[in-house]
């Protein structure tokens, strides 16, 4: 290909210009949600900054820096870095499965510098990046071609297989959802989609029999009837519902949630932190938080819609959907709408990997926003 990749750009921006272009309103909303997280971590620690809130604050600070730096890096740079990132994430993921140490019966962690990094968290962002890069060069017709579709499915499937091997059902679902969404957005033919849905309908019962671990099956069964085994596997979901429900209309008040303080809530500082929020701030607080999330998602959709490159659009929408899937799965699981699959609430749950990857994702989203005027030719990504 002879065309210079950058020939089509209309403007070049200085770093100062780019910082000016950052959607600070969105950053503010993200920061507010993160502060809700700090408050909740302070609360579930019984009114203590340690062990969680303080840690989470500096993680957010690091994440904030990541966001700003990533936002100012040119979107075309991200385009060219998409595949290396994907490759690196995949290597780390495989390394975790092979050499990662065992914690909680699931091999999810790898020690990377001072941070315990969860490659599966990084993988979600990398997948969106790489899929956007791949689909950027494909026309609507191209997407539905078996060769391209096969490649795309391989991009989704390989990490999905390694994540489910960890095993981590929740993240696997998000990876599959992210990948499927991007294929859908880039125009995959309904002739593929309809049979795929049928296949899933057949595959799920099969997976139930041969793939899912006992504890995962138990979670599903427990979900279907939590009251049946109140002190066993149904305990978590029962207590989560009690915590949320007992918040009532206006909640018990900050630091007054008894369910988490008395350890009735499982994973109170990570996956189930939303229940503590619901208990202390009630229906009013929950709806406010959901609206906050909805506005952030709305920003993401708007950024996607205003980007001039297909890469930018797919990336922005993919990251927004990724963020949405986090919220949806976490909220639905703690409210007893779906089985407990182990997904944190983004920006609120305690955890380094999730915080960094979410902030990295927002950084990329912001980069799309900052470089929304940049047009990238369809074939510019021919060279990795």
By beta-carbon proximity to another protein, the closer residue of 129 and 135 is: 135
Closest to another protein by CB, 218 vs 241, is 241
* Separation of alpha carbons 318 and 132, rounded Å: 8
Nearest to another protein of 126, 260 (CB atom):
260
Nearest CB to another protein, comparing residues 59 and 369: 369
CB of 86 vs another protein, minimal distance in Å: 21
Instruction: Return the number of the residue (122 or 376) whose C-beta is nearest another protein.
Output: 376
CB of residue 11 to another protein, shortest distance in Å: 16
Distance of closest approach, residue 256 Cβ to another protein, in angstroms: 11
Least distance from C-beta 28 to another protein, angstroms? 21
The Cα–Cα gap between 125 and 85 comes to 9
What are the respective helix, strand and coil percentages of the chain, to the nearest 5? Answer: 70, 5, 30
Bridge partner list, 117: 110
Shorter beta-carbon distance to another protein: residue 99 or 249: 249
How many whole angstroms separate alpha carbon 55 and alpha carbon 44? Answer: 14
Query: Nearest distance from residue 184's CB to another protein, in Å?
Result: 6
- Shortest reach from residue 161's CB to another protein, in Å: 26
Q: Which is nearer to another protein, 184 or 192 (CB)?
A: 184
Within 13 Å of residue 301, how many CA atoms lie on the same side as its CB?
8
The backbone region for 101, taken as left when phi is positive above 0, alpha when psi lies in -120 to 50, beta otherwise, is: beta
Measured CA to CA in angstroms, residue 269 lies from 141, 194, 210, 296, 379 at distances of 46, 40, 32, 23, 46
Look up residue 222 and give its two tokens. 């427990």
Q: On the CB side of 231, how many CA atoms lie within 13 Å of its CA?
A: 0
What's the closest the beta carbon of residue 20 comes to another protein, in angstroms?
A: 27
For binding to another protein (CB under 8 A), which residues are involved? 3, 8, 139-141, 181, 184-187, 239, 241-249, 258-259, 262-264, 278-279, 282-283, 286-287, 290, 293-294, 297, 301, 304-305, 310, 313-314, 317, 321, 324, 328, 331-332, 335, 337, 375, 377-379
Provide the CA 311 distance to its chain's centre, in angstroms.
19
Task: Give the HSE-up count for residue 132: Cα atoms under 13 Å, Cβ half-sphere.
Answer: 33
């Amino acid at each position: 290909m002879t065309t210079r990749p950058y020939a089509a750009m209309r403007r070049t921006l200085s770093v100062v210009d780019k910082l000016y272009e950052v959607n600070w309103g969105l950053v503010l909303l993200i920061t507010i949600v993160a502060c809700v997280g700090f408050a909740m971590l302070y609360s579930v620690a019984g009114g203590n900054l340690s062990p969680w809130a303080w840690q989470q604050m500096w993680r957010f600070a690091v994440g904030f820096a990541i966001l700003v730096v990533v936002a100012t890096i040119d979107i075309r740079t991200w385009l060219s870095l998409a595949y290396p990132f994907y490759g690196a994430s995949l290597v780390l993921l495989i390394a975790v499965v092979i050499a990662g140490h065992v914690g909680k019966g699931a091999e999810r962690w790898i020690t990377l510098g001072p941070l315990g990094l969860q490659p599966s968290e990084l993988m979600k962002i990398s997948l969106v990046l790489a899929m956007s890069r791949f689909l950027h060069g494909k026309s609507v017709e191209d997407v539905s071609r078996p060769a391209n579709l096969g490649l795309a499915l391989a991009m989704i499937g390989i990490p999905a297989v390694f994540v489910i091997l960890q095993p981590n059902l929740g993240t696997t679902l998000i990876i599959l959802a992210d990948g499927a969404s991007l294929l859908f957005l880039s125009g995959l033919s309904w002739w593929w989609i309809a049979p795929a849905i049928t296949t899933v309908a057949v595959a799920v019962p099969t997976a139930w029999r041969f793939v899912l671990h006992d504890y995962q099956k138990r979670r599903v069964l427990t979900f279907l009837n939590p009251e049946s085994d109140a002190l066993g596997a149904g305990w978590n979901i029962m207590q989560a519902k009690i915590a949320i429900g007992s918040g009532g209309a206006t909640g018990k008040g900050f630091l007054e949630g008894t369910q988490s303080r008395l350890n009735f809530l499982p994973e109170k500082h990570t996956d189930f932190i939303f229940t503590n929020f619901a208990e202390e701030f009630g229906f009013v607080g929950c709806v406010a938080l959901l609206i906050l999330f909805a506005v952030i998602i709305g920003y993401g959709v708007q950024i996607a819609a205003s980007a001039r490159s297909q890469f930018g659009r797919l990336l922005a929408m993919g990251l927004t959907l990724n963020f949405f899937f986090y919220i949806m799965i976490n909220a639905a699981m703690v409210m007893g709408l779906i089985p407990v699959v182990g997904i944190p609430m983004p920006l609120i749950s305690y955890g380094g990997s999730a915080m960094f990857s979410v902030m990295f994702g927002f950084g990329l989203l912001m980069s799309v926003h900052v470089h929304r005027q940049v047009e990238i030719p369809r074939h510019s990504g021919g060279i990795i």
